[in-house]
């Protein structure tokens, strides 16, 4: 399964994403963020999709839909929205559902990576 994670402002929220990447078993990792997130580094390989998080919600959803189209092999992805705000989360979830691809929320807990 592919992991899709949002990297928004506030590097403190990136710890959750980093842990998911490290401890999860992913076929592919796609990170989404603005220019601010381009500096994110990790030992595991990932694809970074640069987006303009300052856009209005519909424009953001449309940009995400365009940039995510054709990126997934399966019918479902693991999604982390530990980073970001409501507008960004809604745009990303809407883009994924409209592709269409199913969404499983993923989180890193003391017990390891879990689906929510």
List pLDDT tens digits, range 39-60. 899 999 999 999 999 999 999 9
Across the chain, how many H-helices and E-strands are there? 3, 6
The whole-angstrom separation of Cα 41 and Cα 56 is 28
- pTM listed for this prediction: 0.93
Q: Is residue 100 part of a domain?
A: yes
What's the number of domains the chain is made of? 1
The whole-angstrom separation of Cα 19 and Cα 113 is 9
Q: Is residue 71 part of a domain?
A: yes
Instruction: Give the neighbor-by-neighbor strand order of the sheet with 112-115.
Output: 47-50, 28-33, 2-7, 76-80, 102-109, 112-115
What are the backbone angles phi and psi of residue 9, rounded to the nearest 5°?
A: -65, 150
Q: Is residue 24 part of a domain?
A: yes
Q: Is residue 41 part of a domain?
A: yes
**Residue 65 domain boundaries:** 7-115
Helix (H, G, I), strand (E, B) or coil at 115: strand
Query: Which two tokens mark 44?
Result: 């595991």
Q: Is residue 1 part of a domain?
A: no
List pLDDT tens digits, range 96-116. 999 999 999 999 999 999 998
């Amino acid at each position: 399964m592919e992991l899709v994670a949002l990297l928004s402002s506030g590097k403190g929220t990136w710890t959750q994403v980093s842990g998911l990447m490290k401890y999860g078993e992913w076929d592919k990792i796609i990170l989404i963020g603005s220019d601010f997130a381009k500096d994110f580094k990790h030992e595991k390989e990932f694809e970074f999709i640069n987006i303009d998080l300052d856009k209005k919600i519909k424009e953001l959803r449309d940009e995400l839909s365009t940039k995510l189209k054709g990126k997934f092999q399966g019918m479902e992805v693991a999604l982390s929205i530990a980073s970001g705000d409501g507008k960004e989360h809604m745009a990303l979830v809407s883009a994924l559902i409209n592709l269409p691809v199913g969404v499983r929320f993923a989180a890193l807990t003391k017990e390891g990576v879990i689906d929510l």
